[in-house]
Chain A
Amino acid sequence: MKKTKRELLVLAAATTVALLMGVTVQAKGDEKVLNFGCQMYTDGCVNSANDENGGWNAMRYGIAEALFKFDDNMEVIPWLAESYEVNDEHTEWTIKLKDGIKFSDGCDLTPTKVKEYFDHMKEVGPSGSAKPEKYLEFEAEVTVDDDANTINIKTSKPYANLVGQLCHPTMGITDVEHIENYDNGIIGTGPYKIEEFNGVGVGYTLAANEYYREDVPYDKINLLFMGDNSAKTMALQSGQVDLVENITNVADIQDFQDSDDFTVDIASGVRCGFAWMNFDGVLGNKTLRQAILMAIDNDTICNSRTIGGLYTPGFSVLPSTLNYDYDKLENPYTYDPEKAKQILDDAGIVDTDGDGIRELDGQNINLRYISYENRLLNDFADAQAQYLAEIGIGVVPEYGSSDDQWSKLAALDYDFNNNNWITVGTGDPLAYMANWATDTSYCAYSNPDYDKLYEELKGEMDPEKRKDLIFQMQQILVDDAAVLIDGYYNSSMIYSKKVGSAHIHTADYYWLSTEITPAE
């Protein structure tokens, strides 16, 4: 009995101490906490070497950093690297690391650690979706010198811009030697580290990386996954979160812009929203494609209250903000619905049965439009269908998930297929422009002139000549009426008064960074 009493006393004392500790933690009022609402991609996985979105997540959450990064002009600047040298043939790159960088587990970032990550990519890359060889070929010979703090990379073929390739999120360096949970517990050099993964659809608890080379503004970040735009909006309005990324409801953004309690930061991005046109179907008819482009008032759509502010109108596959001479391109298919009707009539594409839909080869033109709920793509599809109805072209919308959209794109099972892609993911549009080269196209487009220029581009190292080749390739696509452009997407971040400053970057690889600071 006595023993039981004693145990009870000990238990009571322990409880009291625990409670007091709890109170102490609660009373630690100076802890700086950020509540961040964001979209969840691939279940929040941060496995950068294995999963395409994993790398994006790791970099966006401020966990992993790469050797180089893009500034807001999409120029490459050193990040973990201090400098680099390259030979004239663009086949040998020597990269010097910054001194004193540490991973969040306290280990030093050394050239050996970088090589270990590259080796890990070779090991796991082939089985995953990240395809790291797109950024650094597996054949590359990597040697390191820890004393000189340098990494030497010899490639089997010339790379015009390897340092740009090394900016990609997949190339975010992690401490592979000590990671136990690659999917949700990686160790990087970023300002924040994973304290806890709270579950798919829930989010992460991140903590400041005490080994970071600068002061980290927040002690803790509650990263909350929010897929729905209305949820993000209401969470921000109610104070449940302090910062959100990419609300795509323009009216909500305007409300936030009009309010003194919130700040909206919009960056003219490097993403292009566009609908593929399937050349293997009815849209193989050039006159029909030309009429389609002339029938749609892209400027009005992009500047409407539905889309306004989040897309910049344009007619080329590369955003007008990039330095590829957009202004010098000629667009023969500016908005002119009467001319669109005229060329269709002239080509014999007319409505013979009076149902309001024109026919081609005896069949009504009802184009299957595949789209999905992301970055206003469905709104673009609806708006474009509305314009096409005016000239007698029917559209059958098929809106589903991103997986549906992707599988139908890969299977050429569509007439239009709408998506929003980053155009210069590695600082250069080579990979993006490959989408219209005969061998790598998703829309059965083929133009020998384009292919020739693309082959030249692959081997061209001179920046000015590359720019000229890219300009010519854009003009060919415009002339061929090959792509239906939605516009150039502008990313956004919106934050409350609890946040002092935040910034969304042109390259939307970077969300959480030391630039996001609490209010004074």
Chain B
Amino acid sequence: MKKKNRFLANKTFVVFSILAVCIILTAVFAPVVTRGVDPLKGSLVDALLPPCKEHIFGTDKMGRDIFSRVIYGARASLSATFGVVALIFLVGTVTGVLAGYFGGVIDAVIMRIADMMLAFPGLVLALAVAGIMGASIKNAIIAIVVVSWTKYARLARSLVMKIRDRDYVSAAIVTGSKTPYMLFRYMLPNALPTLIITAATDIGSMMLELAAMSFLGFGAKPPAPEWGYMLNEGRACMQSAPWLMIFPGLAIFVVVVVFNMLGDSIRDILDPRNE
């Protein structure tokens, strides 16, 4: 009897994977989805139009089509979010594995830096970092990475330390295995599944953090179509033109839910305790 693939066996994973792929494809094929409507071009004559046949999500204060901006916004939001998650995953994993494997001074230095970062509330510290560097998506990504890598570092360190003194590791060292081999062959594979689960479940929260940064004016700059910034733009017209906030807000909600559910299902599949 053929063994069923455990990913495909998980219905939640399948459903939300399809939805996530749809979201990514929407972002990639934004010019097709929006039928070529430029998200940066508008006419003041058409400013603040409510949803109608020509503009199904209405228009913003500059007369730009909100549907087009929401769709193009997926590009900025998704790429920035994946960028943040990839960077914190990379930086956190590398530093954590090194700290856990080598211990001593390297461990102490890396962990004290991590402790310093953890001494402040994450978003507040990120706002301070972004405030110093100036408002831009790139700086917002750097700011969030600077304050978020510690979680992965601590996790990777503890996972490595758990196996660092196992007999088979000692045996490998005694038989002449080189350090890079030890790290890539023994340490990383042990830490990776848990770190991947963490990264998958972090996509939603990182997206919210980036949106929050842009909403507060520390991320995307005008006229960039970015969901957090669009919420900020619409805030002043919350009552008179609510569509300015509803549609970007809805986009954030849907995408965060999809990626959170996807992350949860990946955790369910990969978590060794579920096996």
Interface residues of A (CB under 8 A from B): 229-230, 233-234, 249, 251-252, 254-255, 297, 300-301, 304-306, 378-379, 382-383, 385-386, 389, 396-397, 399
B-chain residues with CB within 8 Å of residue A379 when the two chains form the complex: 61
Closest to A307 in B: B44
Closest to A371 in B: B222
10 closest Cβ pairs, A-B complex: A251-B240, A304-B44, A306-B61, A305-B48, A306-B47, A305-B47, A304-B47, A300-B44, A397-B222, A249-B236
Q: Are B221 and A397 in touch, CB under 8 angstroms?
A: yes
Closest to B60 in A: A306
CA distance A467 to B242 in the complex (A): 48
Closest to A386 in B: B62
Partner of A382, one of B41, B62, B236, B240: B62
Question: What 1/0 flags go to B40-60 for Cβ under 8 Å of A?
Answer: 111011011000000000000
Q: Are B240 and A386 in touch, CB under 8 angstroms?
A: no
Closest to B233 in A: A382
Partner of B62, one of A254, A383, A397: A383
Known A306-B61, A385-B223, A397-B221; judge A249-B44 contact (CB<8 A): no
Sorting the interface of chain B by its residue count into under 10, 10 to 19, 20 to 34 or 35 or more gives 20 to 34
CA distance A304 to B221 in the complex (A): 23
Closest to A396 in B: B221
Q: B238: CB under 8 A from chain A?
A: yes
Q: Are A229 and B236 in touch, CB under 8 angstroms?
A: yes
CA distance A231 to B238 in the complex (A): 11
CA distance A304 to B44 in the complex (A): 6
B41 to chain A, nearest CB (A): 7
Partner of B45, one of A230, A251, A304: A304
CA distance A301 to B42 in the complex (A): 12
B66 to chain A, nearest CB (A): 14
Partner of B240, one of A255, A300, A397: A255
Partner of B239, one of A230, A305, A385, A396: A230
Q: Are B239 and A233 in touch, CB under 8 angstroms?
A: yes
Q: B11: CB under 8 A from chain A?
A: no
A-chain residues with CB within 8 Å of residue B223 when the two chains form the complex: 382, 385-386
A-chain residues with CB within 8 Å of residue B222 when the two chains form the complex: 378, 382, 385, 397, 399
Q: Are B240 and A254 in touch, CB under 8 angstroms?
A: yes
Q: Are B236 and A230 in touch, CB under 8 angstroms?
A: yes
Q: B241: CB under 8 A from chain A?
A: yes
Q: Are A386 and B42 in touch, CB under 8 angstroms?
A: yes
Q: Are A234 and B239 in touch, CB under 8 angstroms?
A: yes
CA distance A300 to B42 in the complex (A): 12
Q: B217: CB under 8 A from chain A?
A: yes
A-chain residues with CB within 8 Å of residue B61 when the two chains form the complex: 306, 379, 382
Q: B235: CB under 8 A from chain A?
A: yes
B54 to chain A, nearest CB (A): 16
B223 to chain A, nearest CB (A): 7
Q: B129: CB under 8 A from chain A?
A: no
Closest to B38 in A: A389
Q: Is the interface of B mostly helix, strand, loop or mixed?
A: loop
B-chain residues with CB within 8 Å of residue A382 when the two chains form the complex: 61-62, 222-223
B-chain residues with CB within 8 Å of residue A233 when the two chains form the complex: 239
Pairs A–B under 8 Å by Cβ, sample size 24: A230-B235, A249-B236, A251-B48, A251-B237, A252-B239, A252-B240, A254-B240, A255-B239, A304-B45, A304-B47, A304-B63, A305-B47, A306-B44, A306-B47, A306-B48, A382-B61, A382-B62, A382-B223, A385-B223, A386-B40, A386-B41, A386-B44, A396-B221, A399-B221
CA distance A136 to B41 in the complex (A): 51
Closest to B40 in A: A389
Q: Which one of A230, A306, A383 has the highest number of Cβ atoms from chain B below 10 Å of its Cβ?
A: A306
B-chain residues with CB within 8 Å of residue A396 when the two chains form the complex: 221
CA distance A174 to B222 in the complex (A): 46
A483 to chain B, nearest CB (A): 21
A313 to chain B, nearest CB (A): 12
Closest to A255 in B: B240
CA distance A379 to B233 in the complex (A): 10
B-chain residues with CB within 8 Å of residue A251 when the two chains form the complex: 48, 237, 239-241
A-chain residues with CB within 8 Å of residue B221 when the two chains form the complex: 396-397, 399
B-chain residues with CB within 8 Å of residue A386 when the two chains form the complex: 40-42, 44, 62, 223
B-chain residues with CB within 8 Å of residue A229 when the two chains form the complex: 236
**New contact pairs (4) apart from A304-B45, A382-B222, CB-CB < 8 Å:** A230-B236, A233-B239, A382-B61, A382-B62
CA distance A305 to B59 in the complex (A): 11
B138 to chain A, nearest CB (A): 14
A-chain residues with CB within 8 Å of residue B239 when the two chains form the complex: 230, 233-234, 251-252, 255
B-chain residues with CB within 8 Å of residue A305 when the two chains form the complex: 47-48
CA distance A187 to B231 in the complex (A): 45
A6 to chain B, nearest CB (A): 55
CA distance A304 to B237 in the complex (A): 15
CA distance A229 to B241 in the complex (A): 14
A233 to chain B, nearest CB (A): 7
Q: Are B44 and A383 in touch, CB under 8 angstroms?
A: yes
A235 to chain B, nearest CB (A): 12
B-chain residues with CB within 8 Å of residue A230 when the two chains form the complex: 235-236, 238-239
Closest to A369 in B: B222
CA distance A300 to B235 in the complex (A): 23
A414 to chain B, nearest CB (A): 15
Q: Which one of B61, B221, B239, B241 has the highest number of Cβ atoms from chain A below 10 Å of its Cβ?
A: B61
A-chain residues with CB within 8 Å of residue B240 when the two chains form the complex: 249, 251-252, 254-255
CA distance A379 to B222 in the complex (A): 10
CA distance A249 to B240 in the complex (A): 9
A320 to chain B, nearest CB (A): 20
Known A304-B44, A304-B47; judge A249-B237 contact (CB<8 A): yes
A370 to chain B, nearest CB (A): 13
Partner of B44, one of A234, A255, A301, A385: A301
CA distance A32 to B238 in the complex (A): 33
Q: Which residues of chain B in 228-264 are interfacial with respect to chain A, using CB atoms and an 8 Å cutoff?
A: 235-241
B38 to chain A, nearest CB (A): 10
A460 to chain B, nearest CB (A): 41
A236 to chain B, nearest CB (A): 11
CA distance A493 to B239 in the complex (A): 19
Closest to B45 in A: A300
CA distance A397 to B62 in the complex (A): 15
Partner of A306, one of B41, B62, B235: B62
A128 to chain B, nearest CB (A): 29
